[in-house]
């Protein structure tokens, strides 16, 4: 995707087999800076501090983190320590564990001298696969948006999304936003209502930024406005991403997603999750009770970050000092509230049978 006319991905190798570069997402949309990851610890810190975030990008960063560790020390201990460090960073996005296990499977069988080169190649392959998956999700989601457009007689199609599941959350294109970009490219009049997504404001900071940079019309709304807009008939479809989708079709995503699904059901608005293979956790059936939910720092709730009049990024306190706060980062939308899951293989029913029909035989990889 483009920023100021220049094509970017969210992560890339600076030199073949060398350092890895990422866009620092903690500074967007007010500043655009690239950070260099040189060691596995840099990759782990970037994930933990949300310099990179979004389930697919976390997975790809994990893969490059393993490669960075192996170029320094290619032995078994280094491989095990790298994976342990990376897996401990963020618990909910299953792409992290998926990418770590894939890297382990790929390199552990090789003599140490061959591991680093193979690890870089595998990380690059995971990144390319993510781009291809997101593009395919876009094509399948476009079919759904075309159907909605038929009933609207040329009027704009209003999509509501939560958090950021665009290209910034992936390597390119995005998951939930890929159908939007495909529709925009196809000339459909698409408009996006963007939940601001407190506490980290990924909607206001990242989704609005990337849609705007690409020329897709969007409107930022407070996290509490979606239900009202659905009652007023102003939302045609909700499309969200996912950090972990169970084999039964339950969708873990940024906190607040579940409330949007409830409002969508009450108002007859279709609610889709856009999910690549790497986000499906085939070991889980009951998302509400089994998906580990990240508890994040109280400071994200007690303070709000933004740009001050002097142009500097600042945090201001917004909660009475001493007040107890909770900050669960994700929630789970049960499959019964999900109209369908848009995957790179097509649109599945949100059920074990629906997902298994698309991925039959591939669940273990």
Residues that bind ligand MRU in the complex, under the rule CB under 6 A? 53-56, 93, 163, 165, 169-170, 175, 202, 241-243, 253-254, 329
Beta strands in 85-200 (DSSP E): 157-161, 190-195
What is the number of H-type helices and E-type strands within the chain? 13, 18
Q: How far is the CB of 53 from ligand MRU (least distance, A)?
A: 3
Which DSSP helix (H) or strand (E) runs through 316? strand 313-317
Q: How far is the CB of 109 from ligand MRU (least distance, A)?
A: 31
Beta strands in 209-328 (DSSP E): 218-221, 237-240, 244-246, 251-254, 271-274, 280-281, 303-307, 313-317
Using alpha carbons, select from 195, 194, 177 the residue that is nearest to residue 141.
177
Cβ proximity of 289 and 328 under 8 Å: no
Q: How far is the CB of 337 from ligand MRU (least distance, A)?
A: 16
Q: How far is the CB of 56 from ligand MRU (least distance, A)?
A: 5
- The structure tokens listed for 153 are 């007689």
CA distance 142 to 128: 21
- Other C-beta atoms lying within 10 Å of the C-beta of residue 189: 14
Catalytic residue from among 243, 250, 281, 331: 243
Cβ proximity of 209 and 167 under 8 Å: no
Nearer to ligand MRU, 52 or 67 (CB): 52
Nearer to ligand MRU, 119 or 176 (CB): 176
The residue of the chain with the least Cβ separation from ligand MRU equals 241
- The structure tokens listed for 197 are 């997504």
DSSP-derived pairing of the beta strands 237-240 and 157-161: parallel
The reply to whether 243 belongs to the active site is: yes
Residue 72 C-beta-side C-alpha neighbours within 13 Å: 16
Q: How far is the CB of 277 from ligand MRU (least distance, A)?
A: 13
Active site residues: 243
């Amino acid at each position: 995707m483009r920023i100021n006319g220049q094509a970017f991905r969210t992560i890339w190798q600076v030199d073949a087999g060398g350092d890895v570069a990422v866009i620092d997402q903690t500074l967007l949309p007010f500043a655009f800076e690239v950070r260099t990851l040189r060691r596995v610890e840099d990759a782990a810190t970037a994930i933990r501090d949300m310099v990179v975030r979004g389930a697919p990008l976390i997975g790809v960063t994990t893969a490059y983190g393993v490669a960075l560790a192996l170029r320094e020390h290619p032995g078994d201990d280094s491989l095990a320590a790298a994976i342990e460090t990376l897996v401990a960073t963020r618990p909910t996005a299953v792409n992290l564990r998926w990418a770590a296990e894939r890297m382990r499977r790929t390199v552990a069988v090789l003599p140490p001298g061959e591991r680093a080169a193979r690890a870089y190649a595998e990380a690059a392959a995971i990144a390319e696969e993510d781009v291809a998956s997101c593009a395919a999700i876009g094509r399948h989601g476009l079919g759904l948006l075309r159907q909605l457009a038929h009933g609207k007689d040329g009027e704009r199609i209003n999509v509501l999304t939560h958090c950021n599941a665009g290209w910034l959350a992936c390597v390119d294109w995005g998951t939930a936003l890929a159908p939007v970009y495909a529709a925009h490219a196809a000339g459909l009049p698409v408009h996006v209502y963007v939940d601001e997504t407190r506490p980290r404001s990924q909607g206001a900071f990242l989704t609005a930024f990337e849609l705007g940079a690409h020329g897709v019309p969007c409107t930022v709304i407070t996290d509490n406005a979606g239900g009202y807009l659905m009652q007023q008939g102003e939302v045609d479809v909700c499309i969200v991403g996912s950090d972990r989708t169970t084999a039964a079709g339950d969708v873990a995503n940024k906190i607040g997603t579940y409330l949007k699904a409830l409002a969508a059901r009450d108002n007859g608005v279709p609610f889709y999750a856009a999910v690549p293979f790497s986000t499906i956790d085939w070991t889980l059936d009951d998302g509400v009770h089994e998906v580990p939910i990240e508890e994040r720092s109280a400071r994200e709730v007690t303070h709000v970050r933004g740009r001050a009049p002097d142009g500097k990024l600042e945090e201001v306190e917004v909660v009475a000092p001493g007040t107890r706060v909770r900050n669960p980062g994700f929630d789970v939308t049960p499959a019964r509230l999900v109209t369908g899951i848009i995957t790179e293989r097509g649109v599945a029913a949100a059920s074990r049978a629906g997902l298994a029909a698309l991925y039959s035989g591939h669940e273990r990889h």
